[in-house]
Structure 1
Amino acid sequence: MKKRTWQAIGALCVASWFSAAASAAPQIDAIVQKLKDTHTITMGYRETIEPTSFLNSQHQPDGYAVDMCKQIIADAQKELKLPEIKIKYVPINIQNRQALVANGTVDIACGGAVHTFARARQVDFSPVSYVSANQLLVLKDSGIKSIDDLNGKVVAVPTAGNTEPILNQLIAEKKLNIKVLHVDTHAAALIDIVSHRADAYFCDNSAFLHLIKSAQDPKALAVVGPEYGYAPQAFMVPKNNPTFMWIVNHSMAQMFESGQAEKIFNKWFGPYNLKISPRLRAAWETYSYPE
């Protein structure tokens, strides 16, 4: 009886050891497993956010964020020792991008979403790729110079964006009477301003670059008022993919340290006479960890 008892205890210990060993074994990320099985990654991109992420004249995804993500994918191929990684492009917008990343439809969203604590509940974020803030886009002859001039006027904001809470806070603080108009695209906001359906567009100022350039009369538009908020943009990745996130973080850190990130920035933002801001430079230096 005693012998059988010790045998049972021994069997239980062995089973427990194997169970613990199995649980301690490194788990392969869903994205890494997908890359190994299919040699394919799904990249989400924006269609109209030039120069960050857009469809070029050949109807191919292009831009600052797309170039950065292509380098991340090249580094993933090297790190995982794969013969190739094919990119499957999926268009995303401000309304669906987070859901498509959270449910695994998109492996990496390269549209420059602002990293917020609320969004980080559902998705993970890369290091900061770009830093912007919220400002006003108006017609020059509107007489609008700041938020204080918007009392009794209509202000467009992106649907489901992070700018409306900031506007609502300003409205409450300054006791302004402002009608908020939701728009699904930046192009729609431009149409609303030019047609006088809206008096201003309150949004991430990085979106204004292409809007002004693409307007029928660019000189009629102006970006006014102080910058509100701190909008650190980054690339979204589905949660629970630590190995792939390490590759993303490492790749971007190498871009920051080597000067490649600055070259990509100058390629896309140089034509707009923009230079790397102190905030962006500081963010890059923060993520430039030593090997």
Structure 2
Amino acid sequence: MSLKSVGALSLLAVSLAGPLLAQAQTTLEKVKQSGVIGVAYRESSIPFSYLDDKAQPVGFGVDICNKVVDAVKKTTGRADLKVQLQAVTSANRIPLLQNGTIDIECGSTTNNSERGKQVAFATNYFYTGTRFLVKAGTSVKSLADLAGKPVVSTTGTTNYKILRNLNEEKKLGIELLGAKDHAESALMVQTGRAVAFGMDDILLYGLKASAANPAELAVVGDPIQVEPYAIMVRREDPAFKKLVDDTIAGLIQSGEFETLYKKWFQSPIPPKGINLQAPMSQELRDNLKALSDKPAT
């Protein structure tokens, strides 16, 4: 082997070691060294994470993540920590977390076993079920009523997969359409391109409330599958997951979690001051005691 070849191999070894070293660095080490934490938000996941009338991310999940950022500042000693906000979609949220673009995702992400192979989830902080957003007055009341009709769901969501599987199993002949985000999915119903939008019911209530004319829309059907939401962090980083879990536990124990819940689910919220009037589910009440991060199947 020539000296030139040895040199080339050495350079290759260094280049390969770089990503491995970066990957081995924990989130708290990365944040402390850089002075920056990447916080992801969603643009239309009302009331968890969405843009207000000033184009600023707000919501239940955003408020909780802000508490996590405060804990990170205290733990790292970086009172000057800069928050780098990043909008994400259902399709890119996991890749952007894995490659380090974001460090924590504050949205409406379902904690399930499949995703658990790629990322880690903190304590479950909401539970929801798949239902349908339709135009008010339509005859659609259940999944069976959608046989042979165009139905939309947001690409990259568990809801899309659930509907695809049920469509195949029950041979419903649904024309399942995909949209890039929840706002586009809702628009497809409003413009008649789809008869229904299948998504987590709480998000549908939020989209209905924020529509130009909420009375034109309705949320129908029994929940198809109840699933937990949780904040998403990188895998194999127990210290950071513990910090997030401890932050949520602290909010629950102090009563602030319920205060935040009332703020976003049972009070007028921006931008239109509409009250979703969504009481806390029994599943969530149970988890305020259990503090479980158990995924959906």
Query: TM class by shorter-chain length?
Result: 0.7 to 0.9
The percent identity for this pair of structures is 32
Of the three residues 260, 274, 288, the one matched with 1:284 is: 288
Alpha-carbon distance between aligned partners in 1 of 2:37 and 2:163, rounded to the nearest angstrom: 37
Q: Match of 1:81, as an amino acid? A: G
Secondary structure at the aligned position of 1:105 is classed as: coil
User: Which of 140, 154, 159 is residue 158 of structure 1 equivalent to?
Assistant: 154
> Matched residue of 2:69: which SS?
helix
Equivalence for 2:194: 198
* Pairs within 5 Å for 1:67-146: 67-146=63-142
Alpha carbons 1:148, 1:174 under 8 Å: kept: no
Deviation at 1:29?
Answer: 4.7
Give how far 1:203 is off: 1.0
Q: Is the 8 A contact 2:103 2:234 kept in 1?
A: yes
Contact persistence 1:29–1:244 (CA under 8 A): no
Q: State the distance in 2 between where 1:101 and 1:194 align.
A: 33
Shift of 1:77: 2.0
Tell me, in whole angstroms, the C-alpha distance in 1 between the residues paired with 2:264 and 2:42. 15
Answer with 1 or 2: which has the greater Rg: 1
Closer, same or farther: CA 214–83 of 1 in aligned 2, 3 Å: closer
CA RMSD in angstroms, aligned pairs only: 1.8
Moved more, 179-188 or 30-39: 30-39
Tell me whether 1:250 sits opposite 2:254 in the alignment. no
Give the direction of change, closer, same or farther, for the CA distance of 1:122–1:218 in structure 2 (3 Å limit).
same
| Shift in CA distance, 175/245, structure 1 to aligned 2, threshold 3 Å | same
Gaps of 5+ in 1: 1-27
Q: Does 1:53 align with 2:57?
A: no
1:147 and 2:151 correspond: no
Distance in 1 (CA, whole Å) between partners of 2:289 and 2:196 is 35
Match of 1:31 in 2: 27
> 2-side partners of 1:113 and 1:152: how far apart?
29
Q: Alignment partner for residue 236 of structure 2, among 237, 240, 247?
A: 240
Q: Tell me, yes or no, if structure 1 residue 65 matches structure 2 residue 61.
A: yes
Give the aligned length: 262
Tell me the equivalent position of 2:14: none
Decide whether the 8 Å contact of 1:29 with 1:240 is kept in 2: no
Q: Deviations over 1:231-258 (max 9, x none)?
A: 2111111122221111111111111222
